[in-house]
Chain A
Amino acid sequence: MTNRHILTAILIAALIFLLAPIVVVMVASFNGGAVMSFPPAFLTTRWYHEIKPIFYQAIWVSLLVATGSATFSVLIGVPAALALCRGRFPGRDLLSSLCLSPLMVPTLVTGVALYQCSLVFWDFTGITIGGTLFGIILGHLTFGLPFVIRAVIAGHARFDRALEEAAQNLGASPLKTFRLITIPILRPSIASGAAFAFTMSFDDVPIALFMGGGDGATTLPVQIYTNVQYDLSGDVMAVASLVVVVSLVVITLLNRLAGSDLFFGAKQ
């Protein structure tokens, strides 16, 4: 066996490892027999008709939350990253590592902590954050922001400041320079940070569990989690399969639009 064969074997094994669970879920969603039987007794599309309205509601909530947390991560993260890259102030390195540190704390811990904070905040102000969409978005910023900041700092390392000087030299005001030069050049980094923030938010259970809840603020992962605890019916598999298909479509579209480097770092 040559090296090439070994590599191919490893690649196939990795693909099976990654894809097998997804395939099992998708097959199970068409299973007419008992939910966890494999291979399926007979095929049916019944589960897709029987998806409960709360799941559609939850998908909507998840999309809103993921979009919101990705957006706020970019709006706050990009200026923050630029300040961390360019600013000359005491404690810059400390602040830089502080900004990335939430990634090292288990999200469950963050979730509990945020829940406590929201209670304290309610005590003092009477304003409810816990159990709202905004609460979940705020919670998801704890990992969304670090992802965007990290991506932009990495992209900025290859940024030639002379480009901004050239733009200003040619008559562009600092604001125009930022809009026409800085942002477009950093766009791949920003997009990849935002994509990660979105995905992580769409994926998250612990924080959404503590900060969300109730009718208007239950995300899809939380809804699925709640359901499989009590009742492992086929419609959960159908919902999961739908999400997989939609994700594939979205990722393919993003790759087309932003280039395949979106998830693998910025091109130069």
Chain B
Amino acid sequence: MSDVVLEKIEKTYGNVAAVRQVDIDIRPGEFVTLLGPSGCGKTTCLRMVAGFVAPTSGRILMGGHDVTMLPAHRRNAGMVFQSYALFPHQTVAENIAFGLKVRRVGRHERDQRTAEALRLVRLEQFADRYPSQLSGGQKQRVALARAVVIRPDVLLLDEPLGALDLKLREELQAEIKRVQATLNMTTLFVTHDQGEALSMSDRIAVMRDGAIVQVASPNTLYERPNSSFVANFIGKTNLIEVQVVAKASAASYTVKADHEGGAVLEATGCYDGDFAVGERCLLATRPEHVRLGTHHANRIGGSVSNLNYLGNLWQVEVEDKHGVPLYAFVYPGENIPTRGEVVQMSWEPARCFLLKSER
């Protein structure tokens, strides 16, 4: 397995920068995800690694070799497309063997590796079917087998689950992860689905407007987002506009809410630089840390404006007259508030942090 490095990659179309100054270093066997809203440049990045799009500037290295100028068919990258892109005039086995055939792998080895790949995705009995006779999930498993059978330096996944329904998507997630881990395949995955990114990746690079905002493990990204964009894109986050009134240390602040009755709150932790006394910023906390009641030090009151039942929990939306809606989770067995009820929300100071205001 080789490492893949993107060095200061830029791509501009006319005056429009689609990708700017992207640096990613994918270690051998690592599963890295490019995550972001549509149009953020993540697919363009992937297509540059595949060789379908030439970067305007920067370098791409695979296994230490500069492949920036290499055409797609001379790079050793295996790609899985959102539209499956299975060859309709070839059987499943022929599809999988295609890459080996054009690489002039001998007949014996070709058959053997094709059978192996079919076994890997558990489609042995479908070898002689045509793609039109397969379900969406089976098609994508064939596409996966076809991409890995050539033993690529890097596996490229372009929203491979986008066309599937939820149940299949979860199955395929596990399948892809299993195959990737079995083969210890260096992988670059593109998605706009934060759930997929969180559950599959070793590291996630969150992209916005062509640039990488934060690269971190799923856990770090969720617990310590470095901007309100990341905090909002990965899961749900309560963002409260505040002003710093006192600073005990670089990671311990007292702030006063702009609205929400001017509540005074404590925040421990910040991952987005330093904050000065008097500075306006955002206090962020996840709904799962916010409880109804007054158990914890940070408290804010409001009335319940909405109740959203999600099966395993209720998501309670609480609104102050002037503020933005804040969310708290209420679990089965706890008191379920009614709409319009005036409630207190509270959370631990250790469970919230400060973020710079969006400029």
Q: How long is the Cα–Cα vector from A166 to B82 in the complex, in angstroms?
A: 11
B102–A172 contact, CB under 8 A? Answer: yes
A162 touching B73 by the CB < 8 A rule?
A: no
In the complex, how many angstroms separate the beta carbon of B184 from the nearest chain A beta carbon?
Answer: 21
CB proximity to B under 8 Å, residues A144-198: 160, 162-163, 165-174, 176-177, 180-181, 184-185, 187
Query: Whole-angstrom distance from the CB of B314 to the nearest CB of chain A?
Result: 43
Is residue B252 within 8 Å, beta carbon to beta carbon, of the partner chain?
no
Known: A160-B83, A162-B83, A176-B102. A169 touches B89 (CB 8 A): no
The answer to whether A171 touches B73 (Cβ under 8 A) is yes
* B85–A170 touching, CB < 8 Å: no
State whether the Cβ of B117 lies closer than 8 Å to any Cβ in chain A: no
A8 at interface by CB-CB < 8 Å: no
Cβ-based interface call for B52 (8 A): yes
Given A162-B83, A172-B73, A173-B73, A167 and B98 contact (CB-CB distance below 8 Å): yes
- Which of A162, A165, A170, A172 is the most central at the interface, judged by chain B CB atoms within 10 Å of its CB? A170
Decide if B99 touches A170 in the complex (CB within 8 Å): yes
Q: What's the Cα separation between A107 and B50 when bound, in Å?
A: 50
**How far apart are the CA atoms of A239 and B92 in the complex, in Å?**
49
A169 touches B98 (CB 8 A): no
- Please tell me if the beta carbons of A169 and B88 are within 8 angstroms of each other in the complex: no
A165 and B99 contacting across the interface, CB-CB below 8 Å: no
Contacts of B71 in A (CB 8 A): 168, 174
* Interface: A3 (CB within 8 A): no
Which one of B87, B102, B132 lies within 8 Å of A163 (CB-CB)?
Answer: B87
Distance in angstroms between the alpha carbons of A166 and B72 in the assembled complex = 10
Whole-angstrom distance between the Cβ of B103 and the nearest chain A Cβ: 5
Distance in angstroms from A169 CB to nearest chain B CB is: 5
Chain A residue at minimum C-beta to C-beta distance from B143: A166
Name the CB-closest residue of B to A169: B79
B150/A170 in contact, CB under 8 A: yes
A2 within 8 Å of B (CB atoms): no
Asked if B203 CB lies within 8 Å of chain A CBs, one says: no
Q: Which of B51, B52, B88, B98 contacts A170 (CB 8 A)?
A: B98
Question: B147 to chain A: which residues have CB within 8 Å?
Answer: 169-170
Number of A-B residue pairs, CB cutoff 8 Å, is 71
Q: A165–B73 contact, CB under 8 A?
A: no
- Interface SS majority for chain A: helix
Return chain A residues, CB-CB under 8 Å to B76: 171
Q: Does A268 contact B (CB under 8 A)?
A: yes
B340 → A minimal CB distance (Å): 52
Chain A residues near B51 (CB-CB < 8 A):
168-169
A190 CB to nearest B CB, Å: 13
Q: Report if B126 contacts A (CB, 8 A).
A: no
**Structural contact, A171 and B85, CB atoms closer than 8 A:** no
A184 to B89, CA, bound (A): 7
Interface contact B81-A168, CB-CB below 8 Å: no
With A170-B146, A171-B102, A171-B103 known as contacts, the answer to whether A165 contacts B52 (CB < 8 A) is yes
State whether A162 touches B81 (Cβ < 8 A).
yes
Number of A residues near B (Cβ < 8 Å) is 21
| B residues near A163, Cβ cutoff 8 Å | 85, 87-88
User: Quick check: A181 and B83 within 8 Å, CB to CB?
Assistant: no
Q: Which residues of A contact B355 (CB under 8 A)?
A: none
Which chain B residues numbered 87 to 134 have a C-beta less than 8 Å away from chain A?
87-89, 98-99, 102-103, 132
- Quick check: is B77 within 8 A (CB to CB) of the other chain? yes
B349 at the interface (CB under 8 A from A): no
**Contact flags (1/0) for B17-59 with A, using CB distance below 8 Å?**
0000000000000000000000000000000001110000000
Which of chain B's residues have a CB closer than 8 A to the CB of A167?
Answer: 87, 98, 102
> Is B78 within 8 A of A170, CB to CB?
yes
Determine whether the beta carbon of A268 is less than 8 Å from that of B50: no
Q: Is the CB of A165 within 8 A of B85?
A: yes
- Please encode chain B, from 152 to 189, with 1 for each CB lying within 8 Å of some chain A CB and 0 for all others: 00001000000000000000000000000000000000
Given contact pairs A163-B88, A169-B73, A169-B78, a sample of 12 additional A-B residue pairs in the complex whose CB atoms are under 8 Å apart: A166-B87, A167-B98, A168-B72, A169-B72, A169-B147, A170-B99, A170-B147, A171-B150, A181-B87, A185-B88, A185-B89, A268-B88
- Residue positions of B touching A, CB distance < 8 A: 50-52, 71-74, 76-79, 81, 83, 85-89, 98-99, 102-103, 132, 146-147, 150, 156
- Selected A-B contacts with CB under 8 Å, 30 pairs: A160-B83, A160-B85, A163-B87, A165-B52, A165-B72, A165-B85, A166-B85, A166-B86, A166-B87, A167-B87, A167-B102, A168-B71, A169-B50, A169-B77, A170-B73, A170-B78, A170-B102, A170-B146, A170-B150, A171-B74, A171-B76, A171-B103, A171-B150, A172-B73, A174-B71, A174-B73, A177-B73, A180-B98, A180-B102, A181-B87
> What are the 9 tightest A-B residue pairs by CB atom distance, in nearest-first order?
A170-B99, A162-B85, A166-B85, A168-B72, A172-B102, A168-B73, A169-B79, A162-B81, A171-B102
